[in-house]
Amino acid sequence: MKNKLPPFIEIYRALIATPSISATEEALDQSNADLITLLADWFKDLGFNVEVQPVPGNSQQI
């Protein structure tokens, strides 16, 4: 357990750079899995117990 996050600017850049658009139009909708994984890893690094669960009925969202 590292208990340390990257510097704020790196967090900010990573959040902005990670595609995760939710849209009602299927052609525009993107999975949020990469963003959830990024956030889960940061929280794990801080010592949190993290459990990622899929959203029933939506294969692209977790």
Calpha distance 1→32 (Å, rounded) = 25
The per-residue pLDDT of the chain, averaged, comes to 87
For the four alpha carbons of 19, 22, 58 and 43, in that order, the dihedral sign comes to: positive
Question: What tens digit of pLDDT does each residue of 32-62 get?
Answer: 889 999 999 999 999 999 999 988 876 666 6
Residue 52 neighbours by CB under 8 Å, 6+ apart: 36, 37, 40, 62
Domain total of the chain: 1
pLDDT score, position 55: 80
pLDDT score, position 61: 61
Band of residue 3 on the pLDDT scale cut at 50, 70, 90: low
- DSSP β-bridge partners for residue 58: 55
Question: What tens digit of pLDDT does each residue of 11-40 get?
Answer: 999 999 999 888 888 888 888 889 999 999
pLDDT score, position 62: 60
What is the number of other CB atoms lying within 10 angstroms of the CB of residue 52? 10
